[in-house]
């Protein structure tokens, strides 16, 4: 079938696919087309700032519709949100539908996150009984166990955005690194960056180290509470812990160089988000750079990235030279 498509380089294909999907611009009835070093995605409507072509696309085989549901996919495992913690016939039917239509090997019900390490209790619903998987995004590969670590696949686009906004020669501190989706991407996109990753969850640290080796990058790992991290000075600091990241701003400032850029994730009502961001800056003597809404958290409430900068009131300090084992 002849239709309009967006032509992108293969190295950017997954990032663009996710963005088109989020914007409702990806045509679901047609298959993407691979052409040499490029991929063409069929689109609906007008797409600004991209190479739009008209070409033949293969139609997808029509199957029974998947019941409407909220789920995430990590590697080849689907995570279906379970309200109230009870599994009924409806949830089992949805799990079987996912297993049949998405090329997924396992489906688990996911309860709300719990505990210090933000782990979701899981209930097996369909497919293989395993929780370890390999997840790919932004040209990186991550091994993880969804039963032992926190990982949000919906932040792939946000991680790529932060990477683009970070200087290629920056010293970077990822304060809550998890299995390394921010740290490894930043190190992989520029070998000039010096990246430090702090993580308190020992299971996540194990996978973080394995993923550093798997992706052939140089990231210095600190296992433990970031507040006890050796005094490394950083030009860019990532604080992806929305429920409590603002309370860690004093710690971030102890590690920040003059002029350092902070990416602080927070949760706020939409109506008061700008006021909330300005308040964080005023309380910590920081300059507001940008407020970027990442995703919806609840009706009228969002997760946002407040970008702030340390005033350049003093001579820039040299980044720390200490290697962290």
Cross-strand pairs, 90? none
Compute and round to an integer the Cα radius of gyration of the chain. Answer: 21
The mean-pLDDT minimum among 2-16, 67-81, 140-154, 265-279 falls in 67-81
Residue ranges matching CATH 3.30.70.2580 in the chain: 2-56
Per-residue pLDDT band at 311 (split at 50, 70, 90): very high
33 by DSSP, 3-state: which? strand
Residue ranges matching CATH 3.30.300.110 in the chain: 71-130
* pLDDT one-digit tens code per residue, 2-43: 888 889 998 888 888 888 877 778 888 888 988 888 999 998
pTM of the model: 0.75
Residue ranges matching CATH 3.40.50.150 in the chain: 152-309
pLDDT for 319: 45
Written out in words, the top-level CATH class of the domain with range 152-309 is: alpha beta
pLDDT for 313: 67
Written out in words, the top-level CATH class of the domain with range 2-56 is: alpha beta
Options 3.30.300.110, 3.40.50.2300, 3.40.50.620, 3.30.428.10; CATH for 71-130 is 3.30.300.110
Measured in degrees and rounded to the nearest 5, phi and psi for residue 129 equal: -95, 75
pLDDT for 102: 62
285-305 per-residue burial string, b: 16 or more CB within 10 A, e: under 16: ebeebebeebeeeeeeebbbb
Tokens representing 99? Answer: 């297993």
For the residues 144-154, what does the mean pLDDT come to? 96
Half-sphere exposure of 91 (CA within 13 A, CB side): 21
* pLDDT one-digit tens code per residue, 285-305: 999 999 999 999 999 999 999
pLDDT for 282: 97
pLDDT for 315: 38
Give CA–CA dist 24/155, Å, rounded.
Answer: 17
């Amino acid at each position: 079938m002849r239709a309009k498509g967006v032509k992108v380089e293969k190295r950017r294909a997954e990032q663009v696919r996710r963005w088109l999907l989020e914007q409702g611009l990806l045509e679901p009835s047609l298959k993407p087309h691979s052409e040499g070093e490029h991929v063409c995605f069929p689109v609906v409507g007008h797409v600004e700032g991209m190479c739009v072509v008209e070409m033949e696309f293969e139609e997808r085989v029509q199957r029974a519709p998947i019941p409407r549901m909220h789920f995430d996919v990590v590697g080849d495992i689907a995570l279906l949100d379970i309200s109230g913690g009870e599994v009924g016939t409806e949830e089992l039917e949805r799990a079987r539908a996912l297993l049949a239509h998405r090329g997924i090997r396992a489906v688990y019900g996911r309860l709300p996150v719990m505990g210090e390490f933000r782990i979701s209790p899981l209930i097996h619903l369909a497919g293989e009984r395993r929780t370890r998987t390999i997840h790919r995004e932004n040209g990186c590969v991550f091994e993880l166990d969804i039963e032992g670590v926190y990982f949000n696949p919906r932040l792939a686009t946000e991680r790529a955005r932060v990477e683009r906004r970070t200087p290629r020669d920056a010293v970077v501190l990822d304060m809550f690194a998890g299995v390394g989706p921010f740290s490894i991407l930043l190190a992989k996109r520029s070998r000039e960056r010096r990246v430090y990753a702090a993580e308190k969850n020992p299971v996540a640290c194990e996978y973080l180290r394995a993923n550093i080796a798997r992706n052939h990058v140089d990231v210095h790992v600190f296992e433990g509470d970031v507040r006890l991290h050796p005094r490394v000075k950083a030009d860019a600091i990532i604080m992806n812990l929305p429920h409590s990241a603002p309370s860690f701003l004093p710690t971030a400032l102890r590690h920040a160089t003059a002029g350092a850029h902070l990416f602080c994730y927070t949760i706020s009502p939409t109506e008061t988000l700008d006021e909330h961001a300005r308040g964080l800056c005023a309380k910590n003597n920081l300059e507001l750079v940008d407020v970027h809404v990442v995703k919806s958290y609840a009706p009228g409430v969002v997760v946002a990235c407040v970008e702030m900068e340390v005033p350049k009131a003093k001579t820039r300090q040299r980044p720390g030279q200490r290697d962290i084992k």
